[in-house]
């Protein structure tokens, strides 16, 4: 089972915890971890010190760990400015067909902000058509992004955090170069994810939601998910015990106490060299399934808290007004719009009850 991750050495801790979660739940599988590190310009000694725990994790579980480098100059060629917490490092995954040996025909790419809580073997053994370049899970904002990118009706938009890549097809069709050209030409806000969906539209094999359960699925209900009814049923069936949890928002389990399924990530962190991290309260089942309703109602009943956070929202609005590139702001603002609408609706309901 060839598993690839891409990051700089400063993200070694989440990468290591993800590796442990994979190894713990796939102990009967032979795994090769292909770790692409993107900060080759850093002092080699400091870099190696950060990466040493990853080597030790491989040795502990008897799995192979191979390191690769990709230059920041190569990634900087994209010159893209996307959503704030997404950097051009995200494009490293599209270079995997060129970085990995030609003897490897399939690789499972994973973001580092994940926790695996079950076997990945069924995913790895997924049958893919010979001409299919990619398998992926639908994105939580699929219909919204389809509209934003003008993707034809009937073609879904997929999340790029977990990718089952058919490397033979990528190499044969020079897909990496097509994605580089597309990224530079169109400057999409969600960087690699938008590019992958545009270049490969209609050719992506849909994978089960349980193998990329995005934590946005825990917020609200079907009226806040931009997915179809079939996917909604699959989300409900997977809600309590997904195989792979993807903490894809800026609020990560190592920094945010209200992150859904934070306890799963902490379980594997406790097995890692970083087990001394400070503990935070674990989200309850109610917070995981309907987290915003009790949270919003509690905030609006606490006047001191409202006064504390009101200036933050005011500053955000002022910054948006001063923003030179108004078109870019409108482009990005459509992503959280559904959450703002939902919060306002809940707030109005709470006030009318009072």
Residue 198: predicted pLDDT: 93
Q: Which two tokens stand for residue 160?
A: 């790029």
pLDDT of residue 122: 97
pLDDT at 68 over 70: yes
**What number is the average pLDDT over the span 260-285?**
77
Percent of the chain exceeding pLDDT 90 equals 44
pLDDT of residue 335: 45
Which run of H or of E encompasses 233? Answer: helix 229-238
The pLDDT score that the predictor gives to residue 33 is 98
Q: φ, ψ for residue 97 (rounded to 5)?
A: -60, -25
Q: Does the pLDDT value for residue 58 go beyond 70?
A: yes
Helices (H), 137-190: 142-149, 167-172, 175-186
> According to the model, what pLDDT value does residue 266 have?
92
Mean pLDDT along residues 197-202? 94
- Phi then psi for residue 148, to 5 deg, are -65, -40
Residue 86 pLDDT exceeds 60: no
Residue 180 is predicted with a pLDDT of: 87
| Residues 214-228 pLDDT 10s | 988 876 555 555 666
Q: Six-digit token pair at 222?
A: 């079907």
């Amino acid at each position: 089972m060839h598993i690839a991750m891409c990051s700089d050495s400063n993200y070694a801790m989440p990468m290591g915890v993800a590796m442990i979660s994979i190894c713990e739940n796939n102990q009967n599988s032979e795994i090769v971890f292909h770790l692409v590190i993107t900060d080759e310009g850093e002092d080699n000694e400091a870099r190696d010190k950060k990466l040493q725990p990853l080597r030790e994790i491989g040795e502990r579980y008897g799995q192979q760990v191979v390191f690769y480098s990709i230059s920041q100059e190569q990634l900087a060629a994209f010159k893209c400015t996307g959503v704030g917490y997404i950097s051009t490092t995200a494009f490293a995954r599209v270079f995997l067909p060129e970085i990995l040996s030609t003897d490897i025909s399939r690789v499972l790419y994973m973001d580092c902000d994940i926790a695996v809580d079950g076997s990945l073997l069924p995913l790895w053994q997924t049958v893919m058509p010979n001409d299919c370049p990619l398998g992926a899970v639908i994105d939580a904002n699929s219909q919204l992004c389809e509209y934003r990118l003008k993707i034809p009706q009937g073609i879904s938009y997929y999340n790029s955090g977990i990718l089952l890549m058919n490397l033979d097809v990528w190499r044969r069709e020079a897909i990496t170069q097509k994605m580089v050209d597309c990224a530079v030409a169109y400057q999409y806000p969600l960087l690699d994810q938008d590019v992958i969906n545009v270049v490969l539209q209609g050719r992506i094999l849909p994978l089960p939601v349980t193998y990329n359960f995005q934590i946005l699925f825990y917020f609200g209900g079907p009226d806040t998910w931009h997915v179809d009814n079939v996917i909604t049923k699959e989300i409900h069936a997977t809600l309590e015990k997904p195989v792979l949890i993807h903490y894809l928002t800026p609020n990560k389990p190592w920094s945010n106490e209200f992150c859904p399924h934070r306890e799963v990530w902490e379980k594997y962190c406790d097995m890692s060299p970083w087990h001394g991290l400070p503990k935070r309260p674990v989200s309850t089942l109610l917070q995981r399934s309907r987290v915003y309703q009790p949270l919003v109602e509690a905030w609006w009943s606490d006047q001191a808290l409202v006064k504390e956070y009101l200036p933050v929202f005011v500053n955000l609005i002022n910054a948006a007004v001063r923003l030179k590139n108004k078109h870019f702001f409108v482009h990005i603002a459509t992503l959280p719009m559904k959450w703002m609408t939902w919060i306002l609706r809940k707030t109005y309901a709470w006030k009318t009850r009072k």
